[in-house]
Structure 1
């Protein structure tokens, strides 16, 4: 029985009517596109399967399909078709129901009549590309849509304003806590980040340069002007002018540089003292603070030699707590 169903489905793809001899004809009926306004549904152009039991003659489509698919002659194809039709009739009389796959099904009514129930399929709706029924809700009025957009816009704008204000406050707080650029000590940023040779040195005092350029026990030349006395009858010898040698200014030694290994920095002394109280003395024996430019810098140790300071700083940085330690140079 499934054999004849396959042939009918195959023929309905190319023909609008396929007749089963001594049983009836399957007819495709074209249904135009339609819209149900109340349900907001659209049904595209389609073809529905119908059945006409008055069509009993042999139109030759099914025998030819049997011949092509099974490779038999017309007589054999006719016998195979008649055998399938008899099986359909026997099943319908015995079970009062006959299934034809996607084509639909048959049943026997109360008065013994044969009733066809078409199947719900879009297989044969080639003209509409098999599009199913779809639901499209009505759009709201334009005025209502504008009001909804306006209501949604107000919370979004407020949220953006709050975010912007919070960002500005964070930036302002960062600028207040950070060290002003004008107060930055250039020597504080020479701690193993920039080579000493690349940092410009402070200018030497003019007095010191002059003092170093004049050798000791050397009297600079002094131009002596002799004022001619008024002419007199008697000539008086002028007294020699004694020039005292200039004494070179002694070189004033600047305060020696101190190299502090800084581990923290605070804007107030109270914060600095609180931090020092929590430092482990076993790790930093000589911890203390140095005040420069309004900042209280906490150092683990200080040295008068840069090499020793850098060696200690490298050892201290191996401790994760002091990995950000840096070198601060002061006089």
Structure 2
């Protein structure tokens, strides 16, 4: 797979994918819309833009490539650097196609211009939804409706006497049934209320007595918070983070897992410090002797 394919995959899961030392692809969800001129309905989608100032390596892309290709984080970072160098060389003479994401080119000021692919929709909730065009709807002319003929009272008065008596009897039976049903419901409510009151009285009458309570011990413990962490890497898979943690501990570092970042990656730290000054000194030593990609996180 090329670097463009890895970017394409991540855009379905994350709102921002940064290519180190090149730029970031940022998505913004927009709702469904309709074009009243062409009578076309468009489903919700992720609007894609490119920001050339987002070049910091947040570890998302490199970690995804490392886990997919089953290589180390450093090898994945080198792979990205080689692809970025090839892109920069191609942009001098032609545009670069980034899978189904879009195309990149240079303008007269040698600035990267991004043209998103209009047929791609990275919003997974809109999967399978397409643009729909319908013909315009014309109004239906009003239709006059003739009123029904009025039946005179004289015709209604010809109802037989036995039908009137049967109707009156049915009404009486219905009223009697409703009244009896209401009496039964009221009796059930009163029974439930009595049972509830009896249970509450039993609960109130129950007491719990401790003859010999234990003495109270007050412990005043102060712990200095270590809010400055030297990050060794960020991993999508928790097992990879745990392996990195074990590796650092074998090297003698007081390594810890400091939680997940905004992209859902588990971050592993060489060590954590209470002051920023101590953390900066340790960071300089680690960059010189262990890893140039280590960086300081204040949390």
- TM-score computed with the length of structure 1 as normaliser: 0.41
Bigger Rg, structure 1 or 2: 1
- Greater RCO, CA 8 A, separation 6+: 2
